[in-house]
Amino acid sequence: MNIPKNVRLFLEERANAQAIGNYSSLLCEIEEQLEILEEKETPMVSPVEQMFFIEWYARRYGRDTADVEDRFDLMPQYQLEHLTGKYRLDFSVEFLTGVVNCPTDSVYNHRELEIFEKVRAPLLGIEIDGHEWHERNKEQAQRDKSRERFLVANGWKILRFTGSEVFKDSGKCVTETIDCATTLARIWHQQIRGYLLGKA
């Protein structure tokens, strides 16, 4: 999948801003991810979604946020029928561990399957509302609202950003997402501890 010229320029700027030495490696990884989506017939065609995605992955190469990928992962064009029904989210944040500032073994004690069945991981969805794709008319606005009600009723917390917010400052949008995910992870961690203490 070809990355649009303006998005490719954005990627180059992000690589330079974070002093990412191996820019070509980052570019290849992002292009590979976009191609995987295209093969699954769920291409990420929105440039602002691509910018958000690039910002997230550029952080993985950054010096001060290298631990992000250890706790969260970004899943683009996310749809699982038992979690999202017939709807697709622009992104879902996957919580890789419920542990925040705590050694994994001391919390899980090799009981991961039992814990994850009883204490469900948070559901955090990201929606980026570009004018071209959202609320172009009354029917589209109604579908969007109905979709969000379904997701919230099924346990999702939805963070919404406008396309102009992402275009103007994608870093701020990703930081807000990481901050929200960190808060949800702490709550999840407390629930895990509570469950284990109750079972002790």
In this predicted model, what pLDDT tens digit does every residue of 81-99 receive, in sequence order? Answer: 999 999 999 999 998 764 4
70: helix, strand or coil: helix
Q: What is the pLDDT of residue 9?
A: 77
Q: Find the farthest-apart pair of alpha carbons in the chain and give their distance in angstroms, rounded.
A: 57
Alpha carbon distance 46, 6 (integer Å): 12
pTM beyond 0.85, yes or no: no
Alpha carbon distance 180, 55 (integer Å): 16
Q: What is the pLDDT of residue 32?
A: 78
CATH domain 46-199 topology: tt1808, chain A (3.90.1570)
DSSP assignments along 137-184, one per residue: SHHHHHHHHHHHHHHHHTTEEEEEEEHHHHHHHHHHHHHHHHHHHHHH
